[in-house]
Structure 1
Amino acid sequence: MQLSEELARTFAAMGRFLREREGDLSRTDFAVLIRLAGQQCTRSRDLAHAEGLDPSTMSRRLSSLAERGLIERHPDPADRRAQVLSLTETGRRALAQERDRRVDLVTDTLADWPEQDKAQLADLLGRLADSLEADRGGPTAGQSP
């Protein structure tokens, strides 16, 4: 198989794997909370752009997160007409729990892999993510979901 086909198959399998074992946060919720935790995006329109979503879709997602007490909105000091978003303490805990859950799922799946293979996989995936983000003009290493 071609590399692109293997990547597509891997990403699809990972998506199914996470959906079948979904926690309290959806993939989009998780991505939004990561961006807010890293202060990569703090406005709704920036989050929508970063996640490739329509602004109205992002607005509904943010309303849901706010209703669940995971984020809060504040007037933007630079533009009082706009709002900036931040994680609440509840949001930080939910994000930490979801990160731990996802790490456990992947760790359990790779439990019988040799350490060298796991390290090589992590290195290569990190390089791939860096290249994809650089081509897109996105966050640098360690900042993507």
Structure 2
Amino acid sequence: MPAESDLEVDIGQLAGALFVSVGLVRRRLRQQQVAGDLSFPETAALARLDRDGPATSAELARQEQISPQSMGATLGALQDRGLIARSADPDDGRRVVLTMTEGGRTALQNRRRARVEQLAQGLVGFTAEELAALQTAAPLIERLAQQL
């Protein structure tokens, strides 16, 4: 059984390694375009609507930490493509609520499926032990993301 001192981890060093490795994975995934691909802001807006449900443009801008003008341009492009729909807020007719359409849901699912396939191709050649280690780490990385 390892001594307790053998189990100590330099949190700063681990955080640095995770920052670099997760960032590299994200950059590599973004480098390859997917047919009909959504931009990063479009994906973020659709994912937020998918996860949290209908929202106003101002709410989305605040949640994604971008200017209302930038969010407006993003939402305009999504609406032009039929990926979101605008409707009056049933509680306050002056407000406009945005919802994801079936086309938006399909586009988001296609993007996710393409990125998962990209990751699967990257895993080819890993040993069974390495794959098991990544399988163990995946829920921990998700939990870390939720705590940020």
Structure 2: 5+ residue stretches without partners: 1-11
What corresponds to 1:37 in structure 2? 50
Range with greater deviation from structure 2 (116-125 or 95-104): 116-125
Q: Deviations over 1:87-130 (max 9, x none)?
A: 11111110110110111111221233333112112122112012
Q: Deviations over 1:16-54 (max 9, x none)?
A: 212211321122211211111223451111111111111
What corresponds to 1:120 in structure 2? 136
Whole-Å separation in 2 of the counterparts to 1:41 and 1:112: 42
Deviating above 3 A after TM superposition, structure 1's stretches of 4 or more consecutive aligned residues are none
- Structure showing the higher helix proportion among its residues: 2
What TM-score does the superposition give when structure 2 sets the normalisation length? 0.80
SS of 1:79's equivalent in the other structure is coil
- What is the root-mean-square deviation of aligned Cα atoms in Å? 1.7
What corresponds to 1:8 in structure 2? 19
What TM-score does the superposition give when structure 1 sets the normalisation length? 0.82
Larger Rg: 2
Range with greater deviation from structure 2 (67-76 or 122-131): 122-131
Query: How many angstroms does 1:74 deviate by?
Result: 0.5
Whole-Å separation in 2 of the counterparts to 1:112 and 1:49: 42
Number of aligned residue pairs: 132
Matches within 5 A, 1:36-115: 36-40=49-53, 42-113=55-126, 114=128, 115=131
Whole-Å separation in 2 of the counterparts to 1:118 and 1:4: 17
Structure 1: 5+ residue stretches without partners: 133-145
What corresponds to 2:6 in structure 1? none
* % identity of equivalent residues: 36
Q: For the Cα contact (< 8 Å) 1:110–1:118, is it kept in 2?
A: no
Q: Which has the higher contact order (CA 8 A, sep 6+)?
A: 1
